[in-house]
Every structure is written in C-alpha cells, then in structure tokens.
Structure 1
C-alpha cells in the first residue's frame, strides 16, 4: 500500500518512485524541491466548443473559473515552473476562441516562470500564439510527465487523460469525487478543468496500469482524502 503523510495545507505527501510529491486539494501536483506545479486536463473553452458544435449553451465561464483556481494555486506556492499535462484546450480551435482577458491571463503565467505545455489528444499541436515550451513529455526528479498513460507498468510515470474519480458508499449514501490514483510507482492526476467529468477508477480503462494496491486520493472541500482499494465502489 502506498504510504502517505497528511499535510497542514490539506494535501497528501507521498513517495512516488522515490520522489517526494504533494497531492494538492485543487487536483494539482506540487514538486516542492523543483518548485514545479503540474495540472492536467484543463480543457479550456469546452463550453464554447459545445455551443458551437452541439448547440448546448453551457455558461461560457469555464476557462475563467479554471484560471481562477489556477491563480489561487500560484499565489499559494509561487512556482518557478508550471506544467500543463495535456488537453489544456478542448479542441484545436479553442485558443482562437479565448476571450481577450483570458488570453492575457494565460500569457501572464509565463512572466517570471517557465511555462511548459505537454500535448494531449485534444490539443496535439499545443498553443500557437501563447508563450511557453511545447513538449511531448517532461523529465523531472526521475519522473516522466506525459498526457496519456502508456500501457503496462510504467514506473515513475505521471499522466492525466483518464480523469479519475473515486466513489465511496456508506449505508444508503455515496460520494463521488475527482481523485489522484497511484500505487506508489505511477500516478494519474485528476482533471483540473471546471467542466471536466470523471471516470471511476474501477473502470477497465485503469486495468493493467498498476502493479499493486492503489490509493485513491479524493478531493474534498478542505483536504485530500486517502481511500484504500477495499473502500472503492463501482458506479
């Protein structure tokens, strides 16, 4: 079982493939020794995409809300490096649909820090006009950070893409939350975007990715809750 340590900030500190990392209540990963903040699956402009493609009029504030949450993490931690772990934009045209003030907020993220965009399946080319480095993957503290988890066991891999969520039942009630999921060897981050859903960690999409018992670190209102495999329930 993965060992963890509760933090005063409400997060959980774990050892991941030999590196000490912090699972934040926002759904971000904090690599303190490298002053690096990692977030996955922001899906900027998902609301405007659904309006254009399907006529579904979702409130067009998802990008703004996601940036607000990101700004709070930056204010709390003052990272020297910010890594977007793929699917930062919901589609290839999303960057062009950004409101002017949201685009400026994204440009401001690169002032005084390194900004890294790992590409994902929704944004295979990365941003065109925004600052920062576009990469397939990044290597930090012996960890390989990429968007989509590779098949089989991948020690030291940090990925997103699957939008993990944990469901826990107690009596007649149940709770379902976005979560990190890890076996201490690899880690999958929850989606950070405001309009992103979650896939139950017991779904077969997670099968074969972990070599031992998993810890689901569920995002609560005040802290991250460690959930062992016996407490997890299917949808």
Structure 2
C-alpha cells in the first residue's frame, strides 16, 4: 500500500481527474483567464466542480445560489447541472472579478442561466428575500461571514434545500482550538451553527485534492 503523502495524494487526484472528468476547454479557459487577471487560485478543484454538478443533478435543483463567484469556474459547473430554464444567482463582491467571470460563463454557453449580482454577500442576500426559494446553495466566500451566509441560506431556501460549504478544514487548522485566525474562527463558527441551529442537519468530509488538505460541509435545510 502506498504511504499517505502530499505527492501521493496529488498523484491520486490527477488519476481521478483523468479517469472521471477529463479535459474541458471551457473550464480550462476560465481558469486561464482567472490567472491572467491576477485573481487568486482558490477556485474549487476539478473533482469538486464535478461534485457540484452531480449534487445539482441529484437534487433536481432549478434555482441555485452561489456566494462567491470569483472567476466563474464553479458557476459553470453549477449552471451545467441545472435545466435550461433553471437559474444560478451568483454573488461577487469585486466588479473586476465579475467581469472576468461573465466572459467565461458566456463563452461556456451557460450565460442565459446565470445572473451575477455584484456586492458583498451580506448586502446582496437580503435583496433576494422576495424571490422564489433556492434549491441548492453553495457558500465559497469570506469565511468570517459563514454564519451570516448560513442564516440566509436557511431563509432563502426551503425544507429540502441542499447547502454546500467549501473550505471547512483549512489544512487541519479548524481542529486547533488555539488557532485564532479570523478565517479559521469563521469556519468553526459556521460548523457550530450547523450543529446547533435546528434549521439544519449536516455532516462534513475532509478532502485531499489539487487544492491541498481541506474539506466540505453538506447540510440540509429541515
């Protein structure tokens, strides 16, 4: 048996991507444009993107809320996972990021399914309160605001809405009670909310992929 190491984990990740996902010119172009624009390399891994697609399909989602667009990589995966008449509403705080994302989303052929709302999540989310409920919510923005985003996920969802929260392990730092980094504290507060808030039932999984050691939480609005 191969010993666990970062090199071995990356080799397994490359194998899984080659075996189950393959190359995708539109997604590759979205990442390339994101890099060219000087944006951080914090988009989900290809295996994570395919997972979002599968979750959208399995849940039968027609309305998806994404908090944190970045360069549109995960947005494309989500938009591909819903019907032609479905809608992804994605929130991005940086107008320049939104411009890059819009170009990539349109080039990928899913532009008609995607609406980008520009502004900080805490300011944009209340404006969605009068719209139809969302079937799936993907939270991948500033970790300090995870509890705010989870509260709005419950408010804007319905019983049965699936909530996905990215980056909940932070390289193992989430389990270190002495770590007072604001992002780690925000992740920990979000997980505690999922445990204590009766609106949710949840679990979390560690991941080790192209983005390193991290994890995702999956919650159901009950």
TM-score range, shorter chain: 0.3 to 0.5
**TM-score, normalised with respect to structure 1:** 0.36
Select the structure that is richer in helix. Answer: 2
Select the structure that is richer in strand. Answer: 1
**TM-score, normalised with respect to structure 2:** 0.37
**Greater relative contact order (Cα < 8 A, sep 6+):** 1
